[in-house]
Amino acid sequence: MSLTKNIEVKFRQLKANTFSLQAMRKIYSSLAGSISILSLILQNASAVAETSTSVANSFKAVVTDENMFAASPTVFEVKGSEFRVHGPIPAISPLLAQVGTKTVPQKQILPTDTLNQVTSVNQLSDVQSTDWTFQALQSLIERYGVVAAYPNGTYRGNRAMTRYEFAAGINAALERVNELIATGFKTHQVSREDLLTLQRLQQEFAAELASLRGRVDTLEAHTAEIEANQFSTTTKLTGLVVTAVTGGSFSGERIIDPKGAEIANKQPNATIAYRASLNLNTSFSGTDFLLVRLETGSARSEDNASGYLEPNFGSVLDFSYRSAIDDKFLLTRLYYSFKPFKDFKVTLGPTITAPDFVDTNSYANYGHYDFSTLALTNNYILFPVLNLGSGAFIEWKPGSGAFTVRAVYVAGDGANPIPNNQSSRASVSPLVNLLYPKGDGKNGLFGNPNQTTVELEYAPSKAFALRLQYSGGNLFDGRFDVFGANFELALSQQLAIFGRYGYGSYSNTVFGNINPKYWMAGFAFRDLFKPGALAGIAVGQPFIETVVGNATQTNFEAFYNFPINDNIRITPVVQIITNPANQESNGTIYTGTLRTSITF
């Protein structure tokens, strides 16, 4: 199909049908691509025609508007052997005028040394012959040679492009046209029939084009208004609200802790737990990231039955435990990430937590999204300094390949210069307070408690990832060293398996020197009954150690995350805990939770 025929078909589609705004913009973009190519040729048609000695009456290109960069519409007129262009091409002229009057910032234009010139549209691996842009790209490549590909042979047509990049591309096309004219290249002539067809189409569809331009102008005006009234040009506000109705019970007469002290002899009441977070996400260069998070929540661990009945080995609801305490509104994240060089990221912050950076898993990681049991969302013995502290994180992904090395250091109370202070106990997990009930911390950036975690990840694809970990540090009067593993494997688009394992040593605890083990495993089901849904079932033993209690606690959990829309999810959760607190005399704990997560 010829270029003018293609334009005519698009115009008639536009006139014969009522489209949504998105569809109209696609057709308008397609028309613009075709008209741009033809217009570039038409504006130089006379020079091309002059090279042909076989045409008796050659065409003349006369520009009646001397200001080539005015914002008036372009009108083509054919009279006899004379071809007239009234006004410039809309959208292109302002861009060229902008490039002509100011230096284009280099950061606005993709460096040319990262692109490879192509001579055929078939060299673009992500462009198919059925794509609506195929013919336009083919013309630009074969006629003008102004299209380049990324090093991997892709065109990436959906990538956002700045006005400067667009103007630079048009300028390259114009230079190529001028080069063809100067060398007298004769094969790019435009027939008089093509010119007449274009003139007729302009007249026939003038009203539709004017309407389209008006709607696009309105969109641009609305966008400009939003940009002018936005909170910040560098900062974006996001948020999370989690509420849950939860309740539970236990079999038997009472529940005792690992040391034999009684926790409860009556059934707990149902409660409502909540968490609310506000994030200020800031980027100054596009490659850096500053996070400021303000957060509040209901009472830590005591607002849910599982956390109340079994507080030591990670049965508490994750989203409740990680929130602020007793309705206080606190700063819970403050850190800055940047890339000093390619493939290497550094994060520094006075308020960070290690699980934000290591031991992640696509199916068991976020208490507001997947599993709620704290001991199932992270390797429980790998993070004795589980809560907030001060420190740093580095990540190296050589050549953006399959391997990633990560390391994080967290000091329990790095912002506090007072030595020998109990304030650092807020940074450790409930397990540490069980193992080390006495002893003061040594605050400061290199104080005690502290934790260093190193992780090596191998992820050759999105379907599989294996993470090997080491964590070590000081805990009041003792030391810990833990080795861990974390894996995930997608067996299909809908089914995946995952798990974690840990083995470590904790010295000088109230139980002596111990070597606890940890494991968990489960299945995840994506898009179950509804696109975007996620279901999961998992089992784990968070603290396997024979000298602590006379049995081994086992946690079971199942959940179904049902999306109401892109921002609201409702998730029923069921927890079962056998031999809680590693005590055989304890009855089984049963809890149920209805969780609602709202993101904005």
Under the phi-then-psi rule, with left for phi > 0, alpha for psi from -120 to 50, and beta for the rest, what region is 485? beta
Average pLDDT estimate for 69-85: 42
User: pTM of the prediction?
Assistant: 0.65
| β-pairing verdict for 235-250 and 255-256 | unpaired
**Overall CATH class of domain 235-599:** mainly beta
Say what the pLDDT of residue 13 is: 52
At position 471, the amino acid (one-letter code) is: S
Q: What angle do CA 246, 250, 251 make, to 5 degrees?
A: 155
Question: Is residue 558 within 8 Å of residue 546, measured between CB atoms?
Answer: no
pLDDT in tens, 563-576: 999 999 999 999 99
Please write the tens of the pLDDT for every residue from 503-520.
999 999 999 999 999 999
3-state SS assignment for residue 481: strand
Rg (CA), the chain: 33
Residue 418: per-residue pLDDT? 64
| Distance from C-alpha of 512 to C-alpha of 520, rounded to nearest angstrom | 25
Domain ranges of the chain: 3-109+162-229, 235-599
Cα-based distances in Å from 520 to 180, 517, 577? 69, 11, 14
Q: Outline where 231-336 has alpha helix (H).
A: 305-309, 318-321
Cα–Cα dist 45/52, whole Å: 11
Helix (H, G, I), strand (E, B) or coil at 555: strand
Over residues 160-164, the mean pLDDT reads: 70
Residue 486, pLDDT > 90, answer yes
CB-CB contact of 96 with 119 (8 Å): no
Mean pLDDT of all residues in 552-579: 96
Residue 159, classified by CB atoms within 10 Å of its CB into exposed (0-12), middle (13-18) or buried (19+), is: exposed
Strands 568-578 and 589-599: antiparallel
Q: What does the chain come to in residues?
A: 600
Least confident of 20-34, 131-145, 558-572: 20-34
**Residue 104 pLDDT > 80:** no
Section 185-191 average pLDDT: 50
> So what's the pLDDT on residue 539?
97
Taking residue 528's Cβ as centre, other Cβ atoms within 10 Å add up to: 16
Q: From the CB of residue 87, how many other CB atoms can be counted at a distance below 10 Å?
A: 18
Question: Which phi and psi (to 5°) does residue 467 adopt?
Answer: -125, 125
Which residue in the block uniquely carries the two structure tokens 């910032």?
105
pLDDT in tens, 328-383: 788 889 999 999 999 999 999 999 999 999 999 999 998 899 999 999 999 999 99
Which pLDDT score, from 0 to 100, does residue 167 have? 66
> Please, are residues 45 and 80 in contact by the beta-carbon 8 Å criterion?
no
Residue type, 425: R
**For residues 490 and 156, what is the distance between their CA atoms, to the nearest angstrom?**
27
Spell 450-488 as b/e; 16+ CB within 10 A means b: bbebbbebebeeeeebebebbbbbbbbebebebebebbb
Q: What is the mean pLDDT of residues 228-244?
A: 84
Distant-in-sequence, close-in-space partners of 177: CB < 8 Å, separation ≥ 6: 40, 41, 44, 144
Q: What's the pLDDT at 181? A: 54
- As a whole number of angstroms, the distance between CA 490 and CA 168 comes to 44
